[in-house]
């Protein structure tokens, strides 16, 4: 019996997604609830589970194709026999023939199945297809793309080099032709990679923020001595009691809650001709994921302690790297904290996350000379940046909010006594 697999509901206001990767191919055995495909949406990658056990049948959509919610993307034969068993004799014959070809010097076509799965999955679709087609191990190929990434040309060149190295004398002419067609030394290469759906959405939303909001950024610097001292003093006890490390983000999240309580406009947003104020603080935390920047939300941060906030942040970071964040994790948010300091940023002007009206940018900590009580001393300093929508937040309010955050970090006791 055949079972049609359709695109599941992807979340509120999300009507379509893009096939990012097929996790099963025709003929593979499939268990109940086992993921068969990965869908890229505007915010996250979502796995499509199989509702039945059986054998993967026809694929109705290709990688990179946009599919709507409810569309049929695959067929599963319930109770079928995996190809590995049903076609064992045929496969054995193919393997024998390929073994002969390999001994004769031809490249085996099925070698792609032995390519390291983790390395292959990390490649963009065009490069991945080329690697699988030629049966190459991507870890053995030197990438010439940006940041050392593999390009399709790198894979093609490696395939030609492998073939020319294993060809017999009778194949010398084709090998020479392949070598002569290789890019000339010093040639400047270009690589075209289709933007992922998530990257397209990020670009659209950030450009929309610039077009629609009156963006302005105010800066301050912050002495991190007190927080660093408190962290060093209590980090072991904190980790032992709560089974989580005490980080800096917990301090800044609680400091932001104090600021947003006193400056509610920074925790509000514009909707039509109305201002929506929130009596709660849902902090969006910018997290770097393989496919782009995502902003999962710490809900009701004003009611959470340091340990709960740190656990939420650690969980978001892990799931962002694993690609298991859900649409609900990203929904909402009244204020954003973005920590570019982990990448070494000294100063930046972050862009707000619509429809929010403010974002706090954190930067790297570095020792700098400052004047304290008339003396020049060395202190671990961090630049803070608060970008805000000037349509809603006045300069006085923005400076006040940032000043409250600065004072809370420089004197963490304020967070305990609500100052």
Report the catalytic residues.
Answer: 390, 394
- What residues contact residue 105 under an 8 Å CB cut-off, 6+ apart? 166, 167, 168, 171
Round to whole Å and give the CA distance between 275 and 389: 12
The string of DSSP codes covering 122-180 is TS-HHHHHHHHHHT--GGGS---SGGG---HHHHHHHHHHHHHHH--GGGHHHHHHHHH
Could you say which DSSP state residue 362 is in? E
Q: Tell me if the bond preceding 355 is cis, omega within 30° of 0.
A: yes
Round to whole Å and give the CA distance between 200 and 292: 10
Place of tokens 């001393």: 377
Classify burial at 385, counting beta carbons within 10 Å of its beta carbon; exposed 0-12, middle 13-18, buried 19 or more.
buried
Sheet with 54-59: list strands edge to edge: 2-6, 72-78, 54-59, 29-30
The string of DSSP codes covering 383-400 is EEEEEEETTTS-HHHHHH
The encoded tokens of residue 133 equal 């087609």
Classify burial at 350, counting beta carbons within 10 Å of its beta carbon; exposed 0-12, middle 13-18, buried 19 or more.
buried
Q: How remote is the C-alpha of 74 from its chain's centroid?
A: 26
- What residues contact residue 143 under an 8 Å CB cut-off, 6+ apart? 149, 150, 151, 154
- What residues contact residue 89 under an 8 Å CB cut-off, 6+ apart? none
Most distant CA pair in the chain: distance in Å? 87
Round to whole Å and give the CA distance between 67 and 408: 48
């Amino acid at each position: 019996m055949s079972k049609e697999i359709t695109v599941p509901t992807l979340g509120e206001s999300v009507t379509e997604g893009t096939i990012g990767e097929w996790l099963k191919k025709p003929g593979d055995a499939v268990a109940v609830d086992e993921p068969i495909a990965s869908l890229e949406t505007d915010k996250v990658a979502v796995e499509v589970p199989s509702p039945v056990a059986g054998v993967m049948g026809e694929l109705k959509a290709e990688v990179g194709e946009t599919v709507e919610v409810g569309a049929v993307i695959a067929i599963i034969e319930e109770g079928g026999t995996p190809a590995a068993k049903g076609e064992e004799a045929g496969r054995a014959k193919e393997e024998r023939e390929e073994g002969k070809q390999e001994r004769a010097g031809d490249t085996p076509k099925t070698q792609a199945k032995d390519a390291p799965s983790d390395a292959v999955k990390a490649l963009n679709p065009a490069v991945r297809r080329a690697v699988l087609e030629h049966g190459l191990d991507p870890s053995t190929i030197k990438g010439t793309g940006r940041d050392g990434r593999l390009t399709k040309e790198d894979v093609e060149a490696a395939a030609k080099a492998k073939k020319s190295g294993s060809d017999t004398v009778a194949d010398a002419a084709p090998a020479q032709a392949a070598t002569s067609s290789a890019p000339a030394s010093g040639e400047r290469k270009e690589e075209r990679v289709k933007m992922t759906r998530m990257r397209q959405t990020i670009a659209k939303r950030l450009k929309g923020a610039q077009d629609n909001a009156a963006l302005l950024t105010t800066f301050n610097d912050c002495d991190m001595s007190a927080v660093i001292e408190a962290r060093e003093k209590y980090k072991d006890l904190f980790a032992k009691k709560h089974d989580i490390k005490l980080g800096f983000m917990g301090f800044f999240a609680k400091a932001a809650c104090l600021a947003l309580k006193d400056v509610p406009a920074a925790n509000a947003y514009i909707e039509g001709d109305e201002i929506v104020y929130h009596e709660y603080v849902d902090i969006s935390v910018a997290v770097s994921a393989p496919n782009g920047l995502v902003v999962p939300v710490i809900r009701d941060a004003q009611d959470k302690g340091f340990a709960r906030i740190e656990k939420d942040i650690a969980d978001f970071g892990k799931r962002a790297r694993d690609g298991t964040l859900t649409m609900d994790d990203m929904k909402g948010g009244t204020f954003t904290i973005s920590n570019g300091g982990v990448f070494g940023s000294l100063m930046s002007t972050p862009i707000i996350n619509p429809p929010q009206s403010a974002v706090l940018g954190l930067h790297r900590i570095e020792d700098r000379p400052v004047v304290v009580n008339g003396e020049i001393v060395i202190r671990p300093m961090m630049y803070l940046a608060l970008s805000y929508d000037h349509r809603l937040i006045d300069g006085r309010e923005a400076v006040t909010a940032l000043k409250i955050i600065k004072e809370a970090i420089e004197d963490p006791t304020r967070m305990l006594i609500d100052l």
